[in-house]
Chain A
Amino acid sequence: MRNHVWRPLYLIIAVIALILLVRTLVVPEDFGSHESGYMYGWHRKGNEAEWQQVKVKYQTSAYCKDCHREMYDSIGKSPHGIIPCEDCHGPGAGHLDNPAKLPIDRSRQLCLRCHAQLPSPSSGRSAIRGIDPAGHNPEAECSLCHNPHNPTLEELP
């Protein structure tokens, strides 16, 4: 074949070689098709471990039990016993470094998540006693009158 065919061909071959070289340098060793096969398994294997190392923030109520026995027992006897402590108090991670830092959310908004009156006949919401947020003592925090850990209506003024 003649020169005008070979010259561009050399160029193309050089470009391909360059791409292959750069590819081996840039693509990490553990990148490839792994267990899930060609269709769904292409990835960098090390990334799986990276995701496992994300910090756990929510510790679950069992974690609070030993130190806050009284709270744990009293709420356990009330209808609020089903609510994890951390839903109202935020995640427990870091709490032991600075115990006072775990926030106490006294906002009405917290309680209204479940107790705002909503017409919801086809869900569990209808089994929770609802109040009208604008009508039920709107000027005060709920915990002024109700004990969030034992919300009995019996001793109310």
Chain B
Amino acid sequence: MMKRREFLKHAITVVAGLSLPLAALRIVQPERLFAGQEDLRWIFLVDTHKCVGCGFCVRACKIENEIPYDANVTRTWVERYVVTTDGETFADTPIGARDGFTDRRIDLGEGKFKEIKDEEIEKAFFVPKLCNQCDNPPCVQVCPVGATYRVPDGVVLVDRDWCIGCGYCIMGCPYGVRFFHPVYRVAEKCNFCYHRITKGLKAACVDACPFGARLIGNARDPNDPVTKTVLAGRVGVLKDEYGTKPWVYYLGLSKEVR
């Protein structure tokens, strides 16, 4: 039998041990203090007024990033929104708009189409979508093996050798930008064309856009045109309420866009 005094002593030790802050157990890594590029943070700006829905960005992205061309998966896509005078919203993105929008009817899926008369259209526009390279990426938080991570310059990458293909990140992304790569059978996502931006080039979709609807820049550079627009302009982000802190900004967002 344990004495009461002894029991209390043990209990205090255990509680104190449990409440030891996890931080105290962290191994000190000196390189963490010195690394990190404080002078570079990639930022993206989409001007929905300028987008015409030609889909050249989607095509360029698929070819540049070796996403099987005829598989119905893509790192970036363009959505068409049509709002009628009755206040109804229709949206479609046939094969991610890889071949653009050439049909005036809305693609409802399963071979069904919706014809909307010109005079019934209140507004209609195109919204390109891509990975938001969030500051708080939920897709990274849920990865059980450390196969996806954020680089100090902000881009979220996936390690194809390390990924086990469990699919948590695909479920976890509120923007739906992740998918299974049909060839590598691992999670796949937009990474702002990491191989291009690290060489001083622009992302393939940015270079492919004839209208300047897609721009990429460095948020740490106060003279960067994108940074200037985001600071001065009336810009918005998608699903701000999720707290993911996205870095893809939009000009001309509308409440219908989800």
* B 119-143 to A, binary, CB cutoff 8 A, 1 in contact else 0: 0010111100000000001001101
In the assembled complex, which residues on chain A have CB atoms less than 8 Å from the CB atom of B151? 35-36, 48
Question: Which of A36, A38, A82, A91 gathers the greatest number of chain B CB atoms within 10 Å?
Answer: A36
Per DSSP, chain B at the interface is: loop
Task: Report whether B50 and A56 are in contact in the complex, using a CB–CB cutoff of 8 Å.
Answer: no
What's the minimum C-beta distance from A46 to chain B, rounded to whole angstroms? 9
Task: Report whether B35 and A117 are in contact in the complex, using a CB–CB cutoff of 8 Å.
Answer: no
Interface membership of B146, Cβ < 8 A: yes
What's the minimum C-beta distance from B47 to chain A, rounded to whole angstroms? 9
Which of the 9-residue segments A6-14, A122-130, A149-157 touches chain B? A122-130
B 40-64 contacts with A by CB, 8 A: 48-56, 59-60, 63-64
What's the minimum C-beta distance from B36 to chain A, rounded to whole angstroms? 4
Interface membership of A33, Cβ < 8 A: yes
* B 189-222 to A, binary, CB cutoff 8 A, 1 in contact else 0: 0010011101101001001101101000000000
Task: Report whether A43 and B159 are in contact in the complex, using a CB–CB cutoff of 8 Å.
Answer: yes
Interface membership of B223, Cβ < 8 A: no
Interface size on B, residues (CB 8 A): 63
Contact among B52, B56, B103 for A87, CB-based, below 8 A: B56
Given that A56-B195, A113-B55 are contacting pairs, would A123 and B126 also be in contact in the complex, using a CB cutoff of 8 Å? yes
In the assembled complex, which residues on chain A have CB atoms less than 8 Å from the CB atom of B35? 34-35
In the assembled complex, which residues on chain A have CB atoms less than 8 Å from the CB atom of B53? 113, 118, 120, 123, 125
Instruction: Give how many A-B residue pairs fall within 8 Å (CB-CB).
Output: 162
Task: Report whether A122 and B123 are in contact in the complex, using a CB–CB cutoff of 8 Å.
Answer: yes
Task: Report whether A113 and B102 are in contact in the complex, using a CB–CB cutoff of 8 Å.
Answer: yes
Q: Which 10 A-B pairs have the closest CB atoms?
A: A113-B100, A42-B146, A43-B149, A54-B195, A113-B54, A47-B159, A40-B150, A116-B102, A125-B52, A122-B123
Q: Which residues of A contact B (CB under 8 A)?
A: 31-44, 47-48, 50-58, 60, 82-84, 86-87, 90-91, 109, 112-114, 116-125, 128, 133
Q: Which residues of B contact A (CB under 8 A)?
A: 26, 29, 31-32, 35-36, 48-56, 59-60, 63-66, 99-104, 116, 118, 121, 123-126, 137, 140-141, 143, 146-152, 157, 159-162, 191, 194-196, 198-199, 201, 204, 207-208, 210-211, 213
